[in-house]
Amino acid sequence: MITATETDQTGEQLGLPWDISELAPRKLLLEWIDKELETIDWRNPDLLVFEQRNPEYRPRMFLRLLAYAYSIGTFASEDIAESCYQDEVLRFICEGDPPTARAIVAFRRENRSLLSWLLVEVFKSALKRHFNAGEFLVSPGLKRFLADAATGRIDMGRHMDRGAREE
């Protein structure tokens, strides 16, 4: 299933599947996520102080978890939290301490732009691999398309969570 499309110069449409593992193996998705997370300065003094005061925060784990879940088409916080008990990869990501759906909602709300950036980087890597493109300059149109796809997934999770609360 395609989430969004963009027409390229030849008139062909580019689309992203809801499950990005249709473009690249899931193990590779996790490797790309980890590679991008390594570019963040985790030694920032403000972050370290905040983490010491709030040990449940675990930003790396939450970013890995949500980026991976959104990349494979799992959006609702309750579904992600439950999958942390059932799915071997998600259980590994959670390091044996799965978050609650409420914690996932709070993290997503507070870190929306960082999560969006991470998803865009994963999408770029998936497209590079799928089209065997190697390194290439991302056009403004493609960048906007990927940002919209990332935002759409984050919003999908938010809307699914709202719908679950209303039931």
pLDDT digit string, tens, across residues 52-105: 898 888 999 999 999 999 999 999 999 999 999 999 999 999 998 999 999 999
pLDDT higher than 50, residue 4:
no
Hey, where are the domains in the chain? Answer: 25-166
pLDDT at 9: 53
Q: What is the mean pLDDT of residues 3-19?
A: 62
pLDDT higher than 70, residue 13:
no
Structure tokens belonging to residue 23:
């473009």
pLDDT higher than 70, residue 167:
no
pLDDT higher than 70, residue 35:
yes
